[in-house]
Amino acid sequence: MRILVIEDEKKTASFIRKALQAEGFAVDVCGNGEDALAAVAATPFDALLLDIMLPGRDGLGVLSQLRERGNKIPVLLLSARGEVNERVAGLNAGADDYLPKPFVIAELVARVRALVRRGGETKSTVLRLANLALDTVTHEAQRGENKIELTVREYRLLEFLLRNPNRICGRMSIIEKVWDYDFDPGTNLVDVYMRRLREKIDDGFEAKLLHTVRGIGYVLKEAA
Amino acid sequence: MTVRTRLTLWYAGIMFVSLLAMGGLSYYKFVQEPRNHVLRTANVSSDLIVEDENEDFSQTLKILFWCGLPPAFLALGGGWWLIRKSFAPVAALTQAVERINESNLNAQLSRSGNGDELDRLTEVFNAMTARLDSSFQRIREFTLHASHELKTPLTILHGEIETELHAEKLPPAQREKFASQLDEIQRLTKIVDGLTLLTKADAGQIELKFAALALDEIVNDVFADAQILAKPASLSVTLAACEKISISGDRHRLRQLLLNLADNAVKYNQPGGTVGFCLHRAGADAELKITNTGKSIPPETLPRVFERFYRGDAAHNSATDGCGLGLSIAEWIVRAHHGDIRIASTENLTTVTIRLPLASGKII
């Protein structure tokens, strides 16, 4: 999987590259829109990470130029402005996803993964991790022999985590996908729900599945 | 005494004095002078003349009084009318200037265009508000740019610390230190985000997506979230009433508003306390009350709680993890929905009351 990062801020580009490389992606970086267009024309990338604020032609300009040429490459927009209006403008211009700065790297990595595997998701109706199972049709959850009662919100939370097993899920994507908020509500709602969910799925079991990654988010995984 | 009254009295006074002067001169010109002429030419007894003279004088006074009084009153009324007429544009100008506030500084007062003193005054006013407007504009732009510029270093800081945290062989003490730094960066991020939001709102750059929505559903949602939020502090959460009410509003912003207030009600509560919700119709408005049994807010700080970065004592004593902009944002959301938000605090009961206009069929 080869990703092109278009970001003129060198330090930002550098840690994005490190993080994506650590996840096994091949990463190219370029610092302006014109170079990006040339690189995309020359190399078949699997996804683009595109900053909106670029010297010369800006990110949105690059994006519309690409789409005009009929290039359907998945694009994740990055922006320091991060207002709802701009998100809408970006998605309308043909972006596949949008992430406001400052972001959590885990978030960025999760979104890039989601971009490149789009369409290739598991079709099974039962999601499993270790002895935890969640039926996405009947909304029933089970850990070992224990049936687990879930509220609607808890179900959505667990489904989201189970669809991203072993990956850190940032607070912001949880809020977006589970609560359907496009803003940070500024409460510890997610943490409190996670605590409840943990009580339901982990209490009484030796092997804990739901882990907190301090300052970043949560991950559902079998203990290493 | 208004300027108008004062000028009218002066005007009437001047009128009266000039009438007296006119009377005096006439008396001298038409009575005294001809008499002296006669005296010099004919030989008449001086006794007769004195008697005659007294009679003439009182006669003149009488004429002067009876003929002078109506014009004096006329001068009073006319002056009042005249001055009222000339001051009408000033009154209009006063009203127009009174309507000027921070949000409509770019509006210009309408000018008569006839180039008189008042037209000139209006022009000066317009120039002044234009200068104020551009200053306000500059402050807004500065804040907007500042919060925007802060985001790049914050992204880098967050990214680099997060990268450090991912290192496998990091000593626990180091890990704790980095995690704590991340927490602070996230707090800073929230402040910057809040500031950006409010600055954009001030500049009218945020469009709300109005649609007909069921307010009771949102309240029910937030009620459920509040129960979860309240559990660790073992507070009880009650929903006294939740009438079916539909309003026109922005779903996301209203959820943000209610969640924010619910979060405050939980955060500033006392152990074993209560958070109460109550939604009902009140005239042409939907009224939502959110109460909490936390420490009461002193009356002198109550009007200031909606100010940006204002923190009352309550906030100092308990959680300070907020960004200090929550209630300012809440106030903005309510205002943007043409509603009203108030906060009242009595002994151990703080009530936030929100009134939002009911949907009137048309989307605002």
Q: Which of B162, B179, B326 sits opposite A105 (nearest CB)?
A: B162
- To probe the interface with B, which of A99, A101, A152 has the most B CB atoms within 10 Å? A101
Average pLDDT rounded to a whole number, residues B27-38: 80
Cβ contacts of A22 on chain B, cutoff 8 Å: 166
Give residues with Cβ within 8 angstroms of B227, minimum separation 6: B237
The answer to whether A103 faces chain B, any CB pair under 8 Å, is yes
Angle at B35 (CA atoms; ends B32, B39), nearest 5 degrees: 135
**C-alpha closest to that of A127 among A168, A169, A155, A167:** A155
Domain boundaries defined on chain A = 2-116, 126-220
Is B162 an 8 Å CB contact of chain A? yes
**Could you read off the pLDDT of B109-150 as tens digits, one per residue?**
888 778 888 888 888 989 999 999 999 889 888 888 888 888
| Secondary element (H or E) of residue B296 | none
- The answer to whether the CB atoms of B165 and A106 lie below 8 A apart is no
Q: What is the value of pTM for the model shown?
A: 0.73
User: Does residue B160 lie within any of the structural domains?
Assistant: yes
Q: Which of A65-69, A198-202, B23-27, B255-259 has the lowest mean pLDDT?
A: B23-27
Cβ neighbours of B152 in A, within 8 Å: 9, 12, 80, 101
Interchain contact A199–B (C-beta under 8 A)? no
Q: Supply A140's token pair.
A: 């029933």
Q: Is the pLDDT of residue B318 over 70?
A: no
Q: What is the DSSP string of A186-213?
A: -SSHHHHHHHHHHHHHHTT-SS--EEEE
Give B36-44 contacts, CB < 8 A, sequence gap 24+: none
B263 and B340, same domain (yes or no): yes
Which residue(s) pair with A6 in the sheet?
A30, A50
pLDDT for res A157: 92
- CB of A73 within 8 A of CB of A37? no
Residue B265: give the domain boundaries.
211-357
Q: Are B9 and B75 in contact (CB under 8 A)?
A: no
**Cα four-point dihedral sign A157, A159, A160, A161:** positive
| Contact check, Cβ <8 Å, B162/A82 | no
Note whether A2-116 and A126-220 share their fold.
no
Buried b (16+ CB within 10 A) or exposed e, A194-223: bebbbebbbeeeeeebbeebebbbbbbbee
The fold for domain A2-116 equals Rossmann fold (3.40.50)
Find out if CATH 1.10.10.10 is the number for domain A126-220. yes
Look at A102 and B185 and tell me if their CB atoms are within 8 Å: yes
Interface test with A, best of B141, B147, B151, B321 (most A CBs within 10 A): B151
Please name the residue of chain A whose CA is at the shortest distance from the CA of residue B252: A181
What's residue B364's pLDDT? 42
CATH of the domain at B246: 3.30.565.10
Beta bridge partners, A100, equal A79
Looking at residue A177, the DSSP 8-state letter turns out to be I
* pLDDT number for residue B6: 86
> Residue B295: what pLDDT?
84
Three-class SS state of A69:
coil
Residue A102: asked if its preceding bond is cis (omega within 30°), the reply is yes
From the list A22, A83, A182, the residue facing B252 with the nearest CB is A182
The 10s digit of each residue's pLDDT in B55-80 is 777 887 787 778 777 877 888 888 88
pLDDT value, residue B322? 66
Q: Does B107 map to a domain? A: no
User: DSSP class of residue A3?
Assistant: E
Q: Which residue has the higher pLDDT, A10 or B26?
A: A10
* pLDDT-based confidence at residue B363 (cuts at 50, 70, 90): very low
Average of per-residue pLDDT values in chain A: 86
Q: Could you read off the pLDDT of A117-128 as tens digits, one per residue?
A: 764 455 678 888
Closest to A192 (Cβ–Cβ): which among B148, B165, B232?
A: B232
User: Could you tell me how many helices (H) and strands (E) chain B has, helices first?
Assistant: 9, 7
